[in-house]
Amino acid sequence: MTLPLDGIRVVDWTHVLAGPACAYYLGLLGAEVIKVERPGRGDAMRHRGGTDKARAAAGMSTAYLTQSAGKRSLALDLGRDAGRDVFARLLASADVLVENHRPETLTRLKLTESDTRAVNPWLIHCAMTGYGRDNDMAGAPAYDVNIQAISGLMALTGTQDTGPLRTGAPIVDYATGLSGALAVMAALMQRDKTGVGAFVDVSMLETAFALMSSTITDLQLTGHEPKSRGNAANSRSPSSGVFDCAEGQISLGVNEEAQFHALAHALGRSDWLSDPQFATPAARDANGQALGLALCDVLRTRPADIWEGLLMEAGVPCAMVRSLPDALRLPPARQRDFVGRGAAGFCGLPFRVQDTPEPGDTPPQTLGEGTQDTLRDLGYTDAEIDALRAQEVVARC
């Protein structure tokens, strides 16, 4: 058995989260991934992120480790001609280049998509930027928090009292990583048909828009500007949302008539089904505040975990609000082992492909740890490698 991308070589010239995540996902699908980093400090994410300061000081922060297993680290100075010569030889051997640098950086280093594909017409050049190409903001720098702010996503999060809030995790970064991996897979399939490579243009802003697709469609078709609604459900069903219980909170996703009937019976309030205020969807919409208060009155009589068990058994879409540690103890998390089924026991992909083996067990490498092996693979002799080290074109690892 082989993984889907077995035999594909990916050059990972990225930094921070979105780009490295994209290359990591391709590696989990079987690609050989060579991460190119600048000598000395490497990817800045090696030294920041997470709460383990000792790991960060050693250049192996938890944020870096998350998407670095299974990769070979090549420490290479692309600011020098000799370094770019090495990079050109690497690109000539590759199927995919993933990079997330500003266009002006590519121009300065003579590594634009025209340059890279002149070296290798077979190459898929995947460029991941904040705002995509061919627009007036193409060169603007951006991180996850900036995209959440500028995209409108932050304005939808929180309440009227709290004001805009960033999501608790860098979801745009990781969603962009998934977008990039999907785009590369599509380009590889296209290459099989055309026999030539392609330029892939991935936008963090457009990824954020994609996460809000239904909200955008509603705005376009109705003209109604969306407002932050806190924990109320996007369905706007009055029987959906997050409700306080005797202990904890529970999220209800009761949007269909059959689901409301199941909810009423499970809560011991079958009388709601004949109550003129709640008997029909139109009545519930018209009396949404009253229904919300009635739900709160019942739900506050028992803890959230008790309600979750009763309501799930009755077929009501619901979930107790959990902390991340509690969520990772859930049966799907334990039995499907998302957190350990990736390369070297790190986080995996959010899907499985039938009849494929597990990814490799190569742990994240220290800066430049794979430099010598990579250069040898590219045909450099030990004497040539020593000369590159002496010139500080590659790291002395």
Are 266 and 311 in contact by the 8 Å Cβ rule? The answer is yes
Angle between the N-to-C axes of helices 171-194 and 204-211, in degrees from 0 to 180, rounded to the nearest 10? 110
- Residues 6 or more apart in contact with residue 333 via CB below 8 angstroms: 327, 339
Report the alpha-carbon distance of residue 216 to residue 227 in Å, rounded.
12
CATH of the domain at 113: 3.40.50.10540
Alpha-carbon dihedral angle through residues 346, 351, 353, 357, given to the nearest 10 degrees: 10
Q: In sequence order, what are the beta bridge partners of 146?
A: none
My answer on whether 85 and 172 are in the same domain is yes
Q: What is the mean pLDDT of residues 262-271?
A: 98
Is pLDDT above 80 for 49? no
pLDDT > 90 fraction of the chain, expressed in percent and rounded: 95
Report the alpha-carbon distance of residue 280 to residue 284 in Å, rounded.
6
Q: What is the mean pLDDT of residues 331-341?
A: 97
Last residue of a domain, one of 320, 350, 367: 320
List the beta strands (DSSP E) in 108-167. 124-129
| One-letter identity of residue 305 | D
**Structural domain contains residue 63:** yes
My answer on whether 116 and 200 are in the same domain is yes
In eight-state DSSP terms, residue 343 is G
My answer on whether 190 and 264 are in the same domain is no
* pTM, rounded to two decimals: 0.96
| One-letter identity of residue 141 | P
CATH of the domain at 261: 3.30.1540.10
My answer on whether 366 and 310 are in the same domain is no
My answer on whether 184 and 268 are in the same domain is no
**Structural domain contains residue 259:** yes
Using one digit for the tens of pLDDT, what is the confidence trace for 67-77? Answer: 999 999 999 99
**Structural domain contains residue 203:** yes
Report the run of H or E that residue 23 belongs to, with start and end. helix 18-28
Are 245 and 304 in contact by the 8 Å Cβ rule? The answer is yes
- Considering its fold, how many domains does the chain have in total? 2
Q: How many CB atoms lie within 10 A of CB 64?
A: 25
* SS3 of the chain: helix, strand, coil, percent, to 5: 45, 10, 45
My answer on whether 264 and 305 are in the same domain is yes
- Residues 6 or more apart in contact with residue 75 via CB below 8 angstroms: 37, 38, 39, 42, 367, 368, 371, 394, 395, 397
**Structural domain contains residue 232:** no
| One-letter identity of residue 75 | A
Q: Which of 141, 185, 144 is nearest to 167 (CA)?
A: 144
Q: How many CB atoms lie within 10 A of CB 358?
A: 12
Are 17 and 63 in contact by the 8 Å Cβ rule? The answer is yes
Report the alpha-carbon distance of residue 230 to residue 326 in Å, rounded.
22
Using one digit for the tens of pLDDT, what is the confidence trace for 225-236? Answer: 998 988 888 888
Is pLDDT above 70 for 34? yes
Expressed as residue numbers, the domain containing 267 is: 240-244+249-320
pLDDT band at 160 (very low <50, low <70, confident <90, very high): confident
User: What is the chain's alpha carbon radius of gyration, rounded to the nearest angstrom?
Assistant: 25
Report the alpha-carbon distance of residue 198 to residue 172 in Å, rounded.
24
Are 102 and 129 in contact by the 8 Å Cβ rule? The answer is yes
Last residue of a domain, one of 264, 285, 320: 320
Is pLDDT above 70 for 397? no
Report the alpha-carbon distance of residue 291 to residue 380 in Å, rounded.
73
My answer on whether 154 and 17 are in the same domain is yes
Q: What is the mean pLDDT of residues 335-340?
A: 97
**Structural domain contains residue 231:** no
Is pLDDT above 90 for 22? yes
Query: Coil, helix or strand for 219?
Result: helix
**Structural domain contains residue 225:** no
In a 10 Å sphere around its CB, with 0-12 CB exposed, 13-18 middle and 19+ buried, how is residue 375 labelled?
buried
Are 118 and 193 in contact by the 8 Å Cβ rule? The answer is no
